[in-house]
Structure 1
Amino acid sequence: IEQKGDHEERYALRPTSEAIINDSYAKWIRSWRDLPLKLNQWANIIRWEVQDCKLFLRTREFLWQEGHCVYETEEECHKETLHYLERYRQVSEDLLAIPVWLGRKTEREKFAGAKETYGIEGFMPDGKALQMGTSHDLGQNFAKAFGINFQSRDEKPTLPWQNSWGISTRLIGAVIMTHGDDKGLIIPPRAAKHKVAIVPIIFKGDTTPVKECEKLAKELKEFKPILDAREEYSAGWKFNKYELEGIPLRVEMGPRDIKNDEVVIVRRDTGEKISVKRKGAGKKISALLETMHTDMFAKAKKEASAMILTPKNYEDFKKNIKDRKVNYCAHCGNDACELAIKEETAATTRNIPLGKEAEPKKGFVCIKCGKAAEYMVYFARAY
Structure 2
Amino acid sequence: GVSTRLMGALIMAHSDDQGLVLPPKLAPIQVVIVPIFKTEEEKGQIDSFVNQLTAELKNSDISVKYDDRDTQRPGFKFAEWELKGVPLRVAVGARDMQNGTVELARRDTQTKETVAQDGLSATIVRLLDTIQENIYQKALDYRTSHITEVSSYEEFKEVLEGKGGFISCHWDGTTETEKRVKEETKATIRCIPLDAKEEEGVCIFTGKPSNRRVLFAKAY
TM-score (norm 2): 0.88
How many angstroms apart in 2 are the aligned matches of 1:217 and 1:249? 17
Unaligned 5+ runs, structure 2: none
1:25-40 equivalences in 2 (<5 Å):
none
Q: Does 1:192 align with 2:27?
A: yes
**Residue number among 194, 199, 202 corresponding to 1:365 in the alignment:** 202
Change (3 A) 1:264 1:344: same
Structure 2: how far apart are the matches of 1:358 and 1:213? 60
The reply to whether residue 283 of structure 1 matches residue 111 of structure 2 is no
Q: Answer yes or no: is 1:214 the counterpart of 2:47.
A: yes
Instruction: Name which of 363, 373, 376 aligns with 2:213.
Output: 376
Cα distance change on mapping 1:300 and 1:358 into 2, 3 Å: same
The CA distance in 2 between the partners of 1:352 and 1:358, in whole Å, is 12
Q: Counterparts of 1:206 and 1:255 in 2: how far apart (Å)?
A: 9
Q: State how far apart, in whole Å, the 2-side matches of 1:182 and 1:212 are.
A: 36
> Which structure has more helix as a fraction of its residues?
2
Tell me the residue number matched to 1:161.
Answer: none
Give the corresponding residue for 2:7: 172
Amino acid across the alignment from 2:183: E
Please say which structure displays the higher CA radius of gyration.
Answer: 1
1:255: which partner in 2? 94
Per-residue displacement from partner, 1:260-284 (whole Å, max 9, x unpaired)?
1111111111122122221311000
Alignment match of 1:240 (pick from 73, 79, 86): 79
Q: CA deviation at 1:174?
A: 1.1
Secondary structure of the corresponding residue to residue 95 of structure 2 = helix
RMSD between aligned residues: 1.9
SS in 1 for 2:6: helix
Work out whether residues 46 and 94 of structure 2, in 8 Å CA contact, stay in contact via their aligned partners in 1: no
What is the percentage of aligned positions where both structures have the same residue? Answer: 38
1:217 touches 1:225 (CA, 8 Å); kept in 2? no
Task: In structure 2, give the amino acid aligned to 1:351.
Answer: C
Question: Would you identify which runs of 4 or more consecutive aligned residues in structure 1 move more than 6 Å?
Answer: none
Structure 1 counterpart of 2:173, which letter? Answer: G
Unaligned runs of 5+ in 1: 1-64, 66-166
Kindly provide the amino acid, as one letter, of the partner of residue 332 in structure 1: D
What number of residue pairs does the alignment pair up? 213
How far apart are 1:209 and its partner, in Å? 4.3
Q: C-alpha separation between the residues in 2 aligned to 1:252 and 1:278?
A: 11
In the other structure, the counterpart of 1:294 is: 133
